[in-house]
């Protein structure tokens, strides 16, 4: 590890803000970075929902694709906590699996944990929490991802 987790946190958030169209549009933020673990969030926004507000009394749900996007993203970026070379290294999603648990009607917060970081393939698991229609903060989706790891520019 050549950089501290705080440095990784700052570099990743700067990268998203400055260089990433889709994640910056979604308002994605890196909330915390630790050893083999990372939390990212996407704030609730009507533009992410399944129905226009006038169509129901209840606050509209966030589309499941937003949770899938967050799971895919943080499940891959978490491997930066394992890379020796955080500049040239990267992860490309091989497989993304999501189980949906409950409708999400608030900010999404997803925590990824590295299960296995091999030389060329890594596996992480990701839990997404949000406010549910009953007003409680609960798990709304859980996922696992496998990623092709490129540990240096040579891979």
Q: Which of 6, 35, 57, 99 contacts its own copies by CB under 8 A?
A: 99
Q: Which of 6, 21, 35, 134 contacts its own copies by CB under 8 A?
A: 21
Neighbour-count burial for 37-64, b at 16+ CB within 10 Å, e otherwise: bbbbbbebeeebbeeeeeeeeebbbbee
CB closer to its own copies, 18 vs 57: 18
3 state DSSP class of 85: coil
Residue 142 exposed, middle or buried by CB count within 10 Å (0-12, 13-18, 19+): middle
CA distances from 112 to 11, 26, 133 (A): 18, 18, 24
φ, ψ of residue 97 in degrees (nearest 5): -125, 125
Residues that contact its own copies, how many (by CB under 8 A): 49
Q: Using CB under 8 A, which of the segments 1-9, 15-23, 32-40, 80-88 binds its own copies?
A: 15-23
CB closer to its own copies, 10 vs 64: 64
Q: Does 63 bind its own copies (CB under 8 A)?
A: yes
Residues that bind its own copies (CB under 8 A): 18-23, 25, 46-52, 55, 60, 62-66, 68-70, 72-73, 92-102, 115-116, 120-121, 123, 125, 139, 142-144, 146, 148
């Amino acid at each position: 590890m050549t950089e501290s987790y705080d440095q990784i946190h700052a570099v990743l958030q700067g990268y998203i803000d400055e260089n990433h169209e889709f994640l910056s549009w979604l308002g994605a933020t890196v909330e915390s970075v630790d050893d083999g673990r990372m939390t990212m969030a996407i704030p609730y926004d009507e533009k992410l929902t399944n129905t226009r507000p006038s169509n129901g009394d209840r606050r509209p749900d966030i589309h499941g694709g937003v949770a899938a996007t967050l799971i895919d993203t943080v499940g891959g970026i978490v491997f930066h906590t394992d890379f020796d070379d955080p500049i040239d290294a990267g992860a490309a999603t091989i497989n993304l699996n999501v189980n949906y648990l409950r409708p999400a009607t608030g900010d999404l917060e997803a925590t990824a944990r590295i299960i296995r970081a091999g030389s060329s393939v890594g596996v992480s698991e990701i839990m997404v929490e949000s406010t549910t229609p009953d007003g409680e903060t609960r798990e709304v989706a859980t996922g696992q991802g496998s990623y092709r790891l490129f540990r240096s520019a040579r891979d």
